[in-house]
Amino acid sequence: MLLSRTLLLKSEPAGNLHSLNEMFALANAMEQEAADRYIELAEEMQRQGRGELAQVFTELAAAEREHVDSVVTWSHARTGHAPDASLVRWQAPETFDADAVAEIERSRLMTPYRALSMAVRNEERAFAFWSYLAAYSDSADVRTASEAMAREELGHVATLRKERRRAYHREIDARRAPSMVAPSEPVAAGQLEHRLAELLGEMATPRRGPQADRMRELAQEAAAMATGGADLIRLPAALAQADAAVIAEALADGYLDQAERATEPGQLDLLQRLAAQAIARLAWLRSLG
């Protein structure tokens, strides 16, 4: 069980905590960093005119500030004083996913559901971090407190998962809401892969050198993906009118979402491979600026 939790972390903790003072200092720093990052995201979403996402991150920041207050109160109760930032001796493993932050800031398909999914992963990493410290600490007090922190983070995970489910159902209901424009029939992802192959070929034509070669490789890969199982998911037909980056992003999301729901091993393996290819493709397209 500990191994599976450790795998959530990008790296193992750089050391052990030897006192409650150190533990509360680190816990306070982690919660405060999360609050600051959510505030930054809220401000960025507001600048982009994405009010719904700005509200999501504002609420997440408020929740993290409550966590900060809780740690401060707990520190006072156990040590008689507030956390001392000078006692943070080493940087905790990254629980706030920098890649996900970049994804939110750049993505044109970001939704509250996906934003909350990132928040869930952040809390799961924090849970894994405190579980690790509880297992390896040489202090009984730190071990007990770390176990309590892990339980707190698990509670945060459960709360965010509920919010994520609500966001998911709101998005589904919005898609089903009556519209003056008749919705187009969804199409198999394979058709969008073919369209993406065409766009990549067109993009390669005026270019020369490695960049053009890579675009042609991706075009061939998209054509192969179109016949290699991309009929397992269906996406809005309107995407066929979008540019290559938007289509690539929608396909990556589609493969990932369907992989999460897959129960048959062979199908899961195929969807994971398609998702991996789609994510690498999207990253390269975004690198073009």
pLDDT tens string, the chain, 289 residues long: the values are: 343 344 344 555 556 777 898 889 988 988 888 899 889 888 988 888 888 888 988 998 998 899 899 999 999 999 999 999 888 876 665 666 677 777 777 777 778 888 888 888 888 788 888 888 888 888 888 889 988 888 888 788 778 878 887 887 777 777 665 443 445 578 889 999 999 999 999 998 888 888 889 899 999 999 999 887 667 888 888 888 888 988 988 888 888 778 878 888 888 888 888 888 888 888 788 767 5
Neighbours of 288 (CB within 10 A): 11
CB 255 within 8 A of CB 281: no
For residues 109 and 256, what is the distance between their CA atoms, to the nearest angstrom? Answer: 14
**CB 244 within 8 Å of CB 228:** no
Burial class (CB in 10 A: 0-12, 13-18, 19+), 75: buried
Sign of CA dihedral 230, 233, 238, 239: negative
CA distance 118 to 53: 13
How big, in percent rounded to 5, are the helix, strand and coil portions of the chain?
75, 0, 20
Encode 162-175: b = buried (16+ Cβ within 10 Å), e = exposed.
ebbeebbeeeeeee
Note the Cα 171 to chain centre separation in Å. Answer: 18
Name the token pair of 157. 């995970």
Tell me, what amino acid is at 143? Answer: R
Q: What are phi and psi of 277, to 5 degrees?
A: -65, -45
pTM value surpassing 0.85: no
Q: Using CA atoms in the order 34, 36, 30, 68, what is the torsion angle rounded to 10 degrees?
A: -100
Q: What is the pLDDT of residue 289?
A: 58
SS3 182: coil
At residue 123, the pLDDT reads: 83
